Structure 1
Amino acid sequence: MKTIHSFLLLASLTLAATGCANESGVTVGSDQRGTNPAATNAGYISTATDQPDFSKYKSYSWSSQITDPQNSVFFLNDLIFKGQIRDAVEHEMAAKGYTYQPDNGDLVVNFRTFDQPVELASNDNLGAGYWSDNERYAYNNRNKVKLDRGSILVQMADRQKGVQVWQGYASGLTDGNVFDKNKDKVYVAIGQIFQTYDHRADKL
């Protein structure tokens, strides 16, 4: 745990700004979203009143594919790599004051990796099975995100409203032409992603 803290401290020192590259060549960004998925523009924040009320979120649960111990398809078929990301995200959620609940958390947290460039414009781009049949969360198709090779994407969904409310990413985690799975760099990248998340579950 002490090692993780040192990695995340380094992340806070190296983060330049949301959506820009830092000295390590990693690009970080995020966006938040809202509205009811039954609306015409599901997931699109059209007015200030559509903004999610993050003060109501106190707990979180993992998505079903994160809790599936055999699911490695979204993590370059590497369960150890998946575990590294999960541990880092779990640490950041706790640091933001969120309580983990195996079921029925206020937020459902999901993540995946991309070894090649991708444009996210709908749930289809996330991959079949990324959200299970009972996890139908609207994607903001008006706010397309282009990710470079070597990307980690973290997403949060409002369980009750059935809509994604936030996503953050880090791109450029590469070693030559392959994804750089170095544990130190993974923890730093996740720390950088959560630097862009401006909400807490507590009042600190």
Structure 2
Amino acid sequence: MLCYDMFTAGAETTSNSLRFAFLMMLRHPDVQERVHKEIKEAVGTDRLPTLEDKDRLVYTRAALAESMRMCHVLPTRGYRRVLDDTTLHGCRLPENTVVLVNIWALHMDKDHWGDPEVYRPERFITEAGKFREDDAFLPFGLGRRRCLGEHLAKCCLFQMFTGILQKFQLLPADSTNLKYSTLEGVTLAPKPYDIIFKSRKYCNAAEM
């Protein structure tokens, strides 16, 4: 049952994160084309991207991270219980107080991000062209109680996202159905939308 819980939780959150990421690619076709170009130049088309390609796919990683920053599968992280009377930033937290971490507020903090409502992958890229690790980007939580599946989720998201963007052009089946809206529950997911996966090989042949 423990294994079942881990696989179920990981499958749902990872699939929802991918659905959000694909929605962002539909909403921002210029980003999608830049991601595909980077994958094609760094990896080619004869093999699928692997984890060893991560350092060469900086913009691709940034686009995926920006999607996870804006689209929250788990907008709050918790639950935590205060073991002793505690004061945090001037707020008194009595023993046994239940505490939740507001990931949404952290990822949408204007003081830190400047324009958090804007989808801008460049915020995760340094001036030297490296991927930027940001202390305010915590989709998997923080500390000893952070998500146990973080490493597995990151690996799966990267390989699925890059593999699909390498081989397919994502096109909206209905351009009026690309609003960012969610189905609410224990986790959040984008409302259903229709998407066309167009083979890149077909696109190249048509251009020739």
Q: What TM-score, normalized to structure 1? A: 0.29
Please identify the structure whose Cα radius of gyration is greater: 2
Which structure has the highest strand share of the two?
A: 1
Q: What TM-score, normalized to structure 2? A: 0.28
Relative contact order, higher structure (CA 8 A, sep 6+):
1
Which structure has the highest helix share of the two?
A: 2
